[in-house]
Structure 1
Amino acid sequence: MSTERTSSGDPARTLQLLWRGSLSPADPRRGPRRGLSIDAVVDAATAIADAEGLDALTMRRVAKELGVVPMTLYTYVPGKAELLDLMLDAAYARMPRTDTSGQPWRQRVTAIAEENKSLFARHPWAAGVSTTRPPLGPGQMAKYEHELSALDGLGLTDVEMDDCLAHLLTFVQATARAAADARAAQQDSAMNDQEWWEANAPLLSRVLDEAVYPTAVRVGAAAGAAHGSAYDPDHAYAFGLQRVLDAFAALVERGRGG
């Protein structure tokens, strides 16, 4: 998966596009030609990325999908960097948001993790995008407000709430990328993990000496038998999420005076 970064384009132009004129009144004498819309451009770009990944996404390709010449597209969006911010923010805006009011905090936080896991399942390219400088559009802000509500009222400081959310989302994104890598490995090798290990078992048995690597061989064999492979994305997500929640529990307990 390609690694792209948000907020790598013209920040002023990006914010104007993200907030669709909320930052300044529209000038009727300037702007894109009639016939298309920014939303249509974003939808076409997202469809390409969903089907083929970000490597396939170019301004020329989007223009072709929309039936216009590339120069027409540039009257709507300055370039791919700004387009990526618009795509991600639109994906955030369209995320289903679970109403977990009144539920225990672990269920609320789990719902946030599941929502982001589903986002990456719908848009696999999003897991490969670095958001250390988030686009700060309306979709991003609505997402942030919604997700913080899962941690509000637990006795955490504002900084701790932000830290917990950032840690949770980083975990979900990392597991989504690992799952995508696992799927890509199966496609590239034309065999699943179990088939790959069986095919390489004779060679591995010659080099993995139990006398030299006793713990590694024992634990590796146990994990492989339990998961059917060296890495099981679903198990890694479920196990990791519980450990994240356990770590949050220590902060919550301290914040409540425990």
Structure 2
Amino acid sequence: MESGHSGEAGAVRGLELLWGLGERPNRGRRPAFTLEQVVRTAVGIADAEGLAAVSMRRIADALGCTTMSLYRYVPGKAELLDLMTDAVMGEVPPADAAPGDWRTRLELSARADWALYHRHPWILRLPAGRPALGPNGFAWYESVLRVLTATGLPPEALVNVFDLIDAYVRGAARDALDAAAVERHSGLTDEQWWAARAHFWDAVFVPARYPVVASLRAAGALRHPRDRGFEFGLRLVLDSIETFVRNQPRRRDGTSARYETPCPQCGDPISRSSPTGRPRTYCSDACRQRAYRARRRDLSEGKPGQG
């Protein structure tokens, strides 16, 4: 896996390039290319030949310039990879602009990501936990989070759901692309590979020892197109999220209160301690006073006291 690691100075310069910040040189010869041309050339090389083929020399050859002249545009490969990633993230439509409810929008967004990874497989070779922090990537992140806010989930659960969907799509795309690469390099399709191993099923495999596998093979369930597997998995992930959202206890405003102690008077969450640092029993002074009056009333009527 390629590393996007850069020192602090390089990271600062990389952020300036991503966001169009920092000073621009106003003296010397006019640049022969724009930064966008350099980045798009690098993206084209990565798309055609893989991330390992991307180097300053390779880009310079494609642009017809010297390698050293490229450092006028970008300080190094780590910063270039960030610029490449953010450039292609601009191809993904915002999730919150799609029609439908939150589930439909997440489904469309996941398919858009799946398509992006197939157009630019090299993205999956970069560490997902160290994003480029560019404007296009953040616009995509913000748009998906906006969709997820419609679930009413609390912040931590909302981010976990985002990570779950992202991890599934990335993993499924990586598996599909790896399988396609094996097919290209071997010259054999999956069907041809299995056909060459028919002897295994005929002479080695013992159905009585593996009856479930045997029954699934007989039903034709062991072989299916990769994209159909992706669709099934995506549907299962979204079904699970929908069930999780549906099972959340709700505040009166419709948002989730699963991870907070409910107020015994009104049911709203008790989300913070009292000014003295002691745990609150009620969510507000108003609820505490209502509970006090209710206890007094119960006592006057001879009913057992309640907390």
Shorter-normalised TM range: 0.7 to 0.9
Structure 2 counterpart of 1:163: 160
After superposition, residues 233-252 of structure 1 pair within 5 angstroms as: 233-252=226-245
Given residue 210 of structure 2, which amino acid in structure 1 is its aligned partner? Y
Structure 2 counterpart of 1:111: 108
Q: Larger relative CO (CA 8 A, sep 6+): 1 or 2?
A: 1
1:132 partner SS: coil
Given residue 106 of structure 1, which amino acid in structure 2 is its aligned partner? R
Say yes or no: does 1:134 pair with 2:127: no
1:209 partner SS: coil
Given residue 6 of structure 1, which amino acid in structure 2 is its aligned partner? G
Identity of aligned residues (%): 38
Given residue 96 of structure 1, which amino acid in structure 2 is its aligned partner? P
After superposition, residues 198-237 of structure 1 pair within 5 angstroms as: 198-219=195-216, 221-222=217-218, 225-226=220-221, 229=223, 232-237=225-230
RMSD: 2.2
Given residue 80 of structure 2, which amino acid in structure 1 is its aligned partner? L
What is the CA-CA distance between 1:26 and the residue it aligns to? 3.7
After superposition, residues 13-32 of structure 1 pair within 5 angstroms as: 13-21=13-21, 24-26=22-24, 28-29=26-27
TM-score scaled by length of structure 2: 0.74
Cα distance in 1 for partners of 2:117, 2:87 equals 14
Listed as ranges, the gaps of 5+ residues in structure 1 are: none
Cα distance in 1 for partners of 2:161, 2:76 equals 34
* Greater Rg by CA: 2
1:251 partner SS: helix
What is the CA-CA distance between 1:149 and the residue it aligns to? 1.9
Cα distance in 2 for partners of 1:162, 1:75 equals 38
Q: Is contact 1:6–1:131 with CA below 8 Å preserved after alignment?
A: no
Q: Which runs of 4+ in 1 moved over 6 A?
A: none
Of Structure 1 and Structure 2, which has the larger fraction of its residues in helix? 1
Cα distance in 1 for partners of 2:66, 2:134 equals 28
Structure 2 counterpart of 1:95: 92
Listed as ranges, the gaps of 5+ residues in structure 2 are: 251-255, 257-307
Instruction: Figure out how many residues of one structure are paired with residues of the other and give that number.
Output: 248
Say yes or no: does 1:254 pair with 2:247: yes
Q: Is contact 2:172–2:230 with CA below 8 Å preserved after alignment?
A: yes
1:175 partner SS: helix
Given residue 145 of structure 1, which amino acid in structure 2 is its aligned partner? E
Q: Is contact 2:94–2:139 with CA below 8 Å preserved after alignment?
A: no
Q: Is contact 1:156–1:252 with CA below 8 Å preserved after alignment?
A: yes
1:188 partner SS: helix
TM-score scaled by length of structure 1: 0.87
Cα distance in 2 for partners of 1:202, 1:27 equals 68
